[in-house]
Amino acid sequence: MVKNREQFRSTLGFIFASSGSAIGLGNIWRFPYLAGTNGGGAFVLIYAILMLTIGASLLLVEFVIGKNSHANTVKSYGNINKRFRYIGYLNIFTSFIILSFYSVVGGWTIYFLFKSITGVLISIPGDEITTVFQSFTASSLSPLIYTFIFLALNIYIVAKGIALGIEKYNEFLMPLLFLIILILLVRSITLPGAIDGIIWYLKPDFSKISSGIIVAAFGQVFFSLSVGLSTMVVYGSYLSRNENLPRASALVALFDFLISVMAGLVIFPAVFSFAMKPSEGPGLVFITLPQVFSMLPFGYFFLVLFFILLVLAALSSSISMMEVAITYFIETYNIRRVKISIIYGFIVFLLAIPASLSFGILNGWKIFGMQLFDLFDYFSANVSLPFSALACAILVGWFWNKEKIKAVITNGNKNNNHFFTYWFLIVKYLIPPIITVIWLNAIGII
């Protein structure tokens, strides 16, 4: 264990921080547009099942690995089994990729927040918002400036450390986020015709289920819960000895799921009420919502509120991704937190440049038939995160001492623990084959 390592100050702080990592653009931006392009209710149903079974179990897997060694990602795996330290390296690499495209979208949210504050978004005719979104994302310089601002905010928070930066920020943010989304939800479901949207969103049409939908729902579970990247290993590593990890895992998974479902209930009733199409893609929340709000009383207020929500949610997640690499570099190379946060932030910015330009001048530039932004997204959510989650499950199920795991989870309590027994069976026998099949499908082998 590294000397003088920081710790979360309270259980609640830890739960808020982990929820803050989980709840982000993944819930409010990615989940609704995936549900929108993958057939609504059917996608939501599969997502719910995978999330509350496999997702929640994997969350606990990561917390246990982190809490066991109180060290950075590479060491956390390496301490259990030397060969598995490569998962740590893979995670640092993937966090770098996700953070780069995540920051591009984070930049968009800041831009849209400004545009909604100045009243521009609310005053232009609805159909021109598509043009605003497209011409902004396709331009070269402007989105990069906002990406840069977004990364600068990340650097600022991460540089302050765990308790004073990450924990404090999330404690204030999570309750606020919940309140804002609740206000918006009430507004949306009371619109005329909202019921059509609610039905489309929540009533599964089983004929729509396909392997593509399952792969997408699966990837979204990883992305949304922040598993498969060591984020939760690293947060778990900052825990003191006596936390109730199963309870924390269940709560975080539940909050994360709830916020996604609520985000859909903000967006789809409104989309249907104004007869717009749900399958807009990544522009969904950026294009559709301003259109909706512009037609509502107090639209200005709701729009500003919504983009504040989006910026804050994005930040509480991106800092957790950044922390994966930062903890590693601090502990391995003894670099000061502030210094490495700045350096790392800049390097991420360099990778964000092509990701952002792929909406504009690099649009025609395709690898494996995808433009760069989509490739980054696909590689991370559907290939790298599941792969690393699979490796974690195998490590815990097959390469670690069961009694040791139980001791970490139950804080040394030797009594029979049914929860532990079931969870362990799921991790050992159920999760590996399921992830393997879906993963092979995602990379096109079956």
DSSP class of 57 = H
DSSP assignment of 325-393 equals HHHHHHHHH---HHHHHHHHHHHHHHHHHHHHHTTTTTTT-EETTEEHHHHHHHIIIIIIHHHHHHHHH
Residue type, 295: M
x-marked contacts with ligand TRP along 34-73 as a string, rule CB under 6 A: ----------------------------------------
Q: Which stretch binds ligand TRP (CB under 6 A): 46-54, 82-90, 295-303, 315-323?
A: 315-323
For ligand TRP, the closer of residues 228 and 278 by Cβ is 228
Give the span between the Cα atoms of 174 and 15, in whole angstroms: 10
Q: How far is CA 408 from CA 389, 404, 444, in A?
A: 19, 6, 38
For ligand TRP, the closer of residues 215 and 296 by Cβ is 215
232 close to 307: Cβ distance less than 8 angstroms: no
Q: What angle do CA 254, 176, 9 make, to 5 degrees?
A: 75
Number of residues that bind ligand TRP (CB under 6 A): 17
Q: Is 446 helix (H, G, I), strand (E, B) or coil?
A: coil
45 close to 275: Cβ distance less than 8 angstroms: no
For ligand TRP, the closer of residues 320 and 358 by Cβ is 320
For ligand TRP, the closer of residues 98 and 351 by Cβ is 98
262 close to 183: Cβ distance less than 8 angstroms: no
Name which of residues 332 to 361 contact ligand TRP (CB under 6 A). none
Smallest gap, in angstroms, from Cβ of residue 50 to ligand TRP? 15
Smallest gap, in angstroms, from Cβ of residue 317 to ligand TRP? 4
Interaction of residue 321 with ligand TRP, rule CB under 6 A: yes
Smallest gap, in angstroms, from Cβ of residue 318 to ligand TRP? 7
Among 154, 291, 294, 320, indicate the residue that binds ligand TRP (CB under 6 A).
320
Give the span between the Cα atoms of 250 and 270, in whole angstroms: 31
Smallest CA-to-CA distance from 376 within 96, 11, 41 is with 96
Q: What is the largest CA-CA distance in the chain?
A: 66
Smallest gap, in angstroms, from Cβ of residue 170 to ligand TRP? 12
For ligand TRP, the closer of residues 294 and 384 by Cβ is 384
Give the span between the Cα atoms of 109 and 312, in whole angstroms: 9
Smallest gap, in angstroms, from Cβ of residue 420 to ligand TRP? 26
Name which of residues 212 to 231 contact ligand TRP (CB under 6 A). 223-224, 226, 228-229, 231
* Ramachandran class of 228: left when φ > 0, alpha when ψ lies in -120 to 50, beta otherwise: left
For ligand TRP, the closer of residues 38 and 226 by Cβ is 226
For ligand TRP, the closer of residues 14 and 420 by Cβ is 14
Smallest gap, in angstroms, from Cβ of residue 222 to ligand TRP? 6
Interaction of residue 282 with ligand TRP, rule CB under 6 A: no
For ligand TRP, the closer of residues 39 and 219 by Cβ is 219
Residue type, 113: L
Smallest gap, in angstroms, from Cβ of residue 93 to ligand TRP? 12
For ligand TRP, the closer of residues 105 and 129 by Cβ is 105
Q: What angle do CA 34, 374, 219 make, to 5 degrees?
A: 45
Give the span between the Cα atoms of 258 and 72, in whole angstroms: 30
x-marked contacts with ligand TRP along 373-402 as a string, rule CB under 6 A: ------------x-----------------
x-marked contacts with ligand TRP along 114-153 as a string, rule CB under 6 A: ----------------------------------------
- The strand pairing partners of 371, in sequence order, are 366
Residue type, 151: L
Smallest gap, in angstroms, from Cβ of residue 315 to ligand TRP? 10
Tokens 């521009």 locate to 120
353 close to 334: Cβ distance less than 8 angstroms: no
Give the span between the Cα atoms of 235 and 242, in whole angstroms: 14
Give the span between the Cα atoms of 427 and 291, in whole angstroms: 45
Interaction of residue 316 with ligand TRP, rule CB under 6 A: no
Interaction of residue 106 with ligand TRP, rule CB under 6 A: no
x-marked contacts with ligand TRP along 12-31 as a string, rule CB under 6 A: ---------xx-xxxx----
Interaction of residue 98 with ligand TRP, rule CB under 6 A: yes
For ligand TRP, the closer of residues 173 and 194 by Cβ is 173
Query: Which residues lie near ligand TRP (CB under 6 A)?
Result: 21-22, 24-27, 98, 223-224, 226, 228-229, 231, 317, 320-321, 385
